[in-house]
Structure 1
Amino acid sequence: MGEREREGEMKKGNVQKNNIRCSTLCIASLSLITIFIIPFCESFNYGQALSQSLLYFESQRSGRLPYNQRVTWRHHSALTDGLEQGVDLVGGYYDAGDNVKFGLPMAFTITLLSWGAIEYGEQIAAAGEYAHALEAIKWGTDYFIKAHTQPNVLWLEVGDGDTDHYCWQRPEDMTTSRRAYKVDANNPGSDVAGETAAALAAASILFRRTNPHYSQLLLHHAQQLFEFGDKYKGKYDESVGVAKGYYASVSGYMDELLWAAVWLYRATQKEEYLTYFLDKAYDFGGTTWAMTEFSWDVKYAGLQAIASMFLMEEKKHKKHEVILKQYRSKAEHYLCACLNLNSVTNVERTPGGLLYVRQWNNMQYVATASFLLTVYSDHLLATDQKLHCQKGEVGPHEMLAFAKSQVDYILGSNPMAMSYLVGYGPKFPRRVHHRGASIESYGENKGFIGCTQGYDNWYGRVEPNPNVLIGALVGGPDIKDQFKDERRNYVQTEACTYNTAALVGVFARLHQSHAHAHAHVYYNETPLVASS
């Protein structure tokens, strides 16, 4: 279910500097003693990881599956969603290992996928995966269009976590409540309306060339949802209490409204959205919150990074320089915290070098950090700039190298020698906390598997799951790099859509650079120089 336990917004910690792996060094020029690092050199197939990551979204589909469905152990499910309320809510995604459809994390998933495809569409296409990326995005946006039934009504959840957790069933067999929940003018949800607006606006940019009519439809819904969220302000989990135990909006709704405004500006180039983003910068925390996480709940680092890119790229934003520089200082705080280059507040790391934010589903924060570092490094490279941290300047190659080190850890360059991307490499989690993957598939066994039958016959098994949840990024190891591959260990073995979504663009970018790079590593104390 992602992380139900929320901690503070910022995490302090000192990062160990002496455990940067060789995989970190294949792109950058870094001065390090390499004698201990060379044995850990590994080469990863980022193209394969990209393909697998997009396959994962097909495993998470709800509704009537299409003719070209590649994950054949899944079948049609939840075909009457919304029927009780007289609305068609069939479709969308299950967020993790259960069968609830949660609107806020689903929307963040689509925003991340769209942003990755906007930045790295050419690289995704070069790897032969562009059509699959668009399909993954459209499966989400089609659902959001359905869920936005009136200008000021958004259906944001189908099912509820409490009753869902009584049962261990395949989605195809669900007997739990499929009650749907909405926000409206009387029961506002600015955060979920804002994030859904951001997702639709970002997707509209992608579909502009291939499907202009659909692009306009997405934009129309995005603009209405933003107006709704801004006019009727309130936290969605105060209007819809069943969401609170699973996706509580701890950061509030101000970050989502800024996030929506910046994506609408990118999609339309209309000054009204930029003005909103600038005028509300201080009051809504955009230029005051310094973060050390970017997540389904906390969007500040993402919107601060985009504001910084405006400052880098476009001369027309010169007149907004003062506010955009304030945004940039907060973006730099986040990036420098990931790189351990702030004087005080940095992100902790495990002994093996993995960023560590919190116990529950830590890989989400690793994936989103890797994405922001990658995107930002490319913008710095394109504009011939460097990142300014309290402990010194960092070049774009070094930033990308660090992002690569995190991805390589995920793919197997870690103390457990395990890939945390399911299906990648020889050793990966086999007992993922996931109902559909852990029970014999509908194709193999069309017999009904009841609510407690799933717990009795499947949940407690020590054997590997019968179905491999390819492309899922699980919660990952603890702060000591330890990982227990047990189905009941949901803190570590549950995967979420937004984990994988953050990596799609990064895999594409690394696949491109890996194809062109020829690293030259010297076995001494001289700088490690790589040709890019």
Structure 2
Amino acid sequence: MVMVRADSGNYGDALTKSILFFEGQRSGKLPPSQRLTWRKDSALNDGSDAHVDMVGGYYDAGDNIKFHFPMAFSTTMLAWGVLEFGNSMGSDLEHALEAIRWGSDYFLKATRNPNNLIVAQVGEPYGDHDCWERPEDMDTPRNTYVLTPNKPGSELSAEIAAALAASSMAFSASDNQYSKWLLSHAIRVFDFANNNRGSYNASVGAACPFYCDYNGYMDELIWGAAWLYKATKMRKYWEFVRSNIGSIESQPVIRNIKGVAVLLNGGSFAEFGWDCKIAGINVLVSQWVMGDPSSASPFIPNADAFVCSVLPNSPTKSVSYSKGGLMFKPGSSNLQHVTSTSFLLIVYARYMQAAKKVVNCGSVTADPNTLINLAKSQVDYILGNNPLGMSYMVGYSNKFPQKIHHRASTMPSLDQHPQHITCRDGDQYFKSNAPNPNILIGALVGGPAEDDTFEDSRYNVGQSEPATYLNAPFVGLVAYFKSPQASSFVDFGFRDFTN
């Protein structure tokens, strides 16, 4: 196959832009340092219906709802990226920390009373999705949805606890007082999640079918405990992880595909994203059990199985690859799987390298180089080394998506059109064949189809919509490949991963 090589190797530029994207997703009162200046203040009364201040946070994708479940996961992943690769970020580290703080500050607000109330979501999704409005113009319902002991949401609360714990570690060197504050909140929020068990699917009806949790809440509880152990080294959190990990080992793979629960073949050890944390748990924990045979099981075997599930030549591969080399899992917005999986591969490769470890997948043996090069092939494909020569990061290289499914990007900014644009008046901008007037620099979109084609259309939501949980793992990925340490791995170049 003929490959068109775009500027896929400028990882420093990709890092800068992948962080800048988060400024385009900000809700609330924007700071003087705001660099995407076509975005303005929005949703300044959020939380007022529940008498709480919920101004701030991130819009998760191309709409104007603040879904806290994916927002918390994105914050966790931004923080993990800084913990692993912050030393390679250079001047972008400051902006990465700003992106984390925009999320962690918001979750401090959301958990102001963590013993009896946690805010789970802001915005009524059906009303929002029925309008094509700039966030600055929103006049759709901004309902505040909360969790209480009688209306629990263990998966959401535990993910917020993970986000706060990971963020506390990210700030430990630069703002120790803030770090301690985040950690104290993380502990209390985890207690709320664990002591008041139940799914937020039932407690926050407005979360489904958009961000239903289809894998149960135990993976988030273990994930939260693992992050708290990493942050505190308190034995009780490690005991929680060890005593509960068996309950999710044989969990069936259920994927949220366009709001429908779909049972898939394969093992849950290979799943990682805003809904399922199992592969992430095993890779995270592997860092401190890799040299301890008494604690290695089931974490190391399952982390190895995750690797074998994605290696192109593995006999137990459970993903597919396009002819152009892009990894695919069932469901829309495929790049969310590509970025989160590739992030885990890089992190696990680093842990393997430190332990001088390899992974055996039947007759196939994978060393750290193998994992690094597979992740690099995915990053390079995203940045333009693909059959179309298309960068799937907006604003990167000379060829990128022009008509992304994103309200603020699609419509003229307040600078250009200061008058209010109402719900239905926005339709003309959605239906327009013109490129979006505001470039959402750094946004990763859902990506191409499995035949490597791409429809640059606002109507094709699965391919053209950006989301925070696509970008958050990618920040760490491009920071790694920008670093001198990445060059120590052998680059075997592009591979044609034909199914």
Interval of TM-score (by shorter of Structure 1 and Structure 2): over 0.9
Aligned residues: 479
SS of match in other structure, 1:426: coil
Tell me, yes or no, if the aligned pair for 1:255 and 1:286 is still in contact at 8 Å: no
Residues 1:131 and 2:94 aligned together: yes
Give the fraction of aligned pairs with identical amino acids, expressed as a percent. 42
State the shift of 1:37 in Å: 8.6
Question: For 1:92, which of 57, 73, 90 is the aligned residue?
Answer: 57
SS of match in other structure, 1:472: coil
SS of match in other structure, 1:478: coil
TM-superposition CA deviations, 1:272-313 (whole Å, max 9, x none): 100110111112438996433311001000001112221225
Residues 1:60 and 2:25 aligned together: yes
Instruction: Quote the Cα distance in structure 2 between the aligned partners of 1:514 and 1:381.
Output: 12
Q: 1:385 to 1:45 in 2, by over 3 A?
A: same
Instruction: Quote the Cα distance in structure 2 between the aligned partners of 1:376 and 1:51.
Output: 24
Query: Map of 1:173-212 to 2, 5 A cutoff?
Result: 173-212=137-176
Instruction: Quote the Cα distance in structure 2 between the aligned partners of 1:393 and 1:75.
Output: 52
Tell me, yes or no, if the aligned pair for 2:308 and 2:317 is still in contact at 8 Å: no
Alignment-derived partner of residue 430 in structure 1: 402
Instruction: Quote the Cα distance in structure 2 between the aligned partners of 1:95 and 1:209.
Output: 28
Instruction: Quote the Cα distance in structure 1 between the aligned partners of 2:399 and 2:416.
Output: 25
Residues 1:391 and 2:369 aligned together: no
Alignment-derived partner of residue 303 in structure 1: 281
Alignment-derived partner of residue 118 in structure 1: 83
Residues 1:474 and 2:449 aligned together: no
Which amino acid in 1 is paired with 2:288? Answer: F
Name which structure has the greater RCO, CA cutoff 8 Å, separation 6+: 1
Q: Which ranges of 4 or more aligned residues in structure 1 deviate by more than 4 Å?
A: 36-43, 286-289, 514-522
Tell me, yes or no, if the aligned pair for 2:308 and 2:316 is still in contact at 8 Å: no
Q: 1:445 to 1:38 in 2, by over 3 A?
A: closer
State the shift of 1:434 in Å: 0.2
Instruction: Quote the Cα distance in structure 2 between the aligned partners of 1:395 and 1:103.
Output: 37
Which amino acid in 1 is paired with 2:475? Answer: V
Residues 1:265 and 2:244 aligned together: no
Tell me, yes or no, if the aligned pair for 1:92 and 1:139 is still in contact at 8 Å: yes
Query: Map of 1:30-179 to 2, 5 A cutoff?
Result: 44-125=9-90, 128-150=91-113, 151-179=115-143
Question: For 2:194, which of 209, 225, 230 is the aligned residue?
Answer: 230
SS of match in other structure, 1:247: coil
Deviates more, 1:201-210 or 1:280-289: 280-289
Query: Structure 2: any 5+ residue segments left out of the alignment?
Result: 253-266
Instruction: Quote the Cα distance in structure 2 between the aligned partners of 1:477 and 1:37.
Output: 17
Tell me, yes or no, if the aligned pair for 1:170 and 1:436 is still in contact at 8 Å: yes
Instruction: Quote the Cα distance in structure 1 between the aligned partners of 2:228 and 2:130.
Output: 40
TM-superposition CA deviations, 1:13-71 (whole Å, max 9, x none): xxxxxxxxxxxxxxxxxxxxxxx899869751000000000000000000000010000
State the shift of 1:391 in Å: 3.3
Query: Structure 1: any 5+ residue segments left out of the alignment?
Result: 1-35, 314-319, 523-527
Tell me, yes or no, if the aligned pair for 2:5 and 2:384 is still in contact at 8 Å: no
Question: For 2:343, which of 351, 363, 371 is the aligned residue?
Answer: 371
Alignment-derived partner of residue 493 in structure 1: 464
Which amino acid in 1 is paired with 2:299? Answer: Y
SS of match in other structure, 2:417: coil
State the shift of 1:79 in Å: 0.1
TM-superposition CA deviations, 1:154-185 (whole Å, max 9, x none): 10100122110111000000010001001110
Instruction: Quote the Cα distance in structure 2 between the aligned partners of 1:379 and 1:178.
Output: 44
Instruction: Quote the Cα distance in structure 2 between the aligned partners of 1:435 and 1:359.
Output: 23
Which amino acid in 2 is paired with 1:422? Answer: V
Instruction: Quote the Cα distance in structure 1 between the aligned partners of 2:188 and 2:406.
Output: 35
Which amino acid in 2 is paired with 1:149? Answer: R
Query: Map of 1:291-330 to 2, 5 A cutoff?
Result: 291-312=269-290, 321-330=293-302
Instruction: Quote the Cα distance in structure 2 between the aligned partners of 1:49 and 1:139.
Output: 21
Residues 1:338 and 2:310 aligned together: yes
Residues 1:244 and 2:215 aligned together: no
State the shift of 1:220 in Å: 1.0
Instruction: Quote the Cα distance in structure 2 between the aligned partners of 1:290 and 1:333.
Output: 10
State the shift of 1:438 in Å: 0.2
Tell me, yes or no, if the aligned pair for 2:4 and 2:387 is still in contact at 8 Å: no
Instruction: Quote the Cα distance in structure 1 between the aligned partners of 2:25 and 2:311.
Output: 33
State the shift of 1:514 in Å: 8.3
Residues 1:511 and 2:482 aligned together: yes
Residues 1:283 and 2:254 aligned together: no
Instruction: Quote the Cα distance in structure 2 between the aligned partners of 1:308 and 1:106.
Output: 25
Instruction: Quote the Cα distance in structure 2 between the aligned partners of 1:115 and 1:194.
Output: 16
TM-superposition CA deviations, 1:326-368 (whole Å, max 9, x none): 1211111111111135434421111111110024100000001
State the shift of 1:382 in Å: 1.9
Q: TM-score, normalised by structure 2?
A: 0.92
Which amino acid in 1 is paired with 2:395? Answer: G
